[in-house]
Amino acid sequence: MSGTVLWATVLGGSLGCYLLKLAGLSVPAAWVEQPWVARVVDFVPAALLGALVAVQAATTGQQLVLDGRLVGLAVAALALALRAPFIVVLLLAGAAGALVHVLA
């Protein structure tokens, strides 16, 4: 991806996200507070973040790949389940990924 396209992505995405925020302070509440709109908005983050976790951890391009990232993710899940602080979760995941890289 060229630098120009990358900048367009950064600035276009930023403008769009800003307009979504501004819309909330500007449009009549009734437009937004319909049950099915609320339902979709409540669950979009779970669907997209679930997809991003999977894509980041187990794919490269169009291929499914099993490597240290998946081990790091498993360690992170365990740390989160044990209520470890965010920084500890990331450090443990990174350490696991690095270890697999060294051993593999």
Partner 1 sequence: MSSPERSADRAATLRDGIGLGVAVGLYGAAFGAAADAAGLNLWQAMSLSALMFTGASQFALVGVLGAGGGALAAVGSALLLGTRNTVYGVRLVPLLRPTGIRRPGLAHWVIDETTAMSLAAPNRALGRLAFLVTGASIYLMWNAMTAVGALGAAALGGTARAALDAVVPAAFLALLWPRLRRSFPEAAVQRRVALGGAVVALALTPFVPAGVQVIAAVVAVALAGRPRATERPTAAEEMA
Residues between 46 and 75 that touch partner 1 (CB under 8 A):
46-59, 61-64, 68-69, 71-73, 75
Take residue 3 and report the two structure tokens written for it.
């630098």
Q: Which residues face 60 on adjacent strands?
A: 63
Q: Is 90 in the site for partner 1 (CB under 8 A)?
A: yes
C-beta of 8: minimal distance to partner 1 in Å? 6
Q: Say which DSSP state 85 is in.
A: -
C-beta of 37: minimal distance to partner 1 in Å? 8
User: What share of residues in the chain are helix, strand, coil (percent, to 5)?
Assistant: 80, 5, 15
Residues numbered 13-32 forming contacts with partner 1, rule: CB under 8 A: 13-18, 20-27, 29, 32
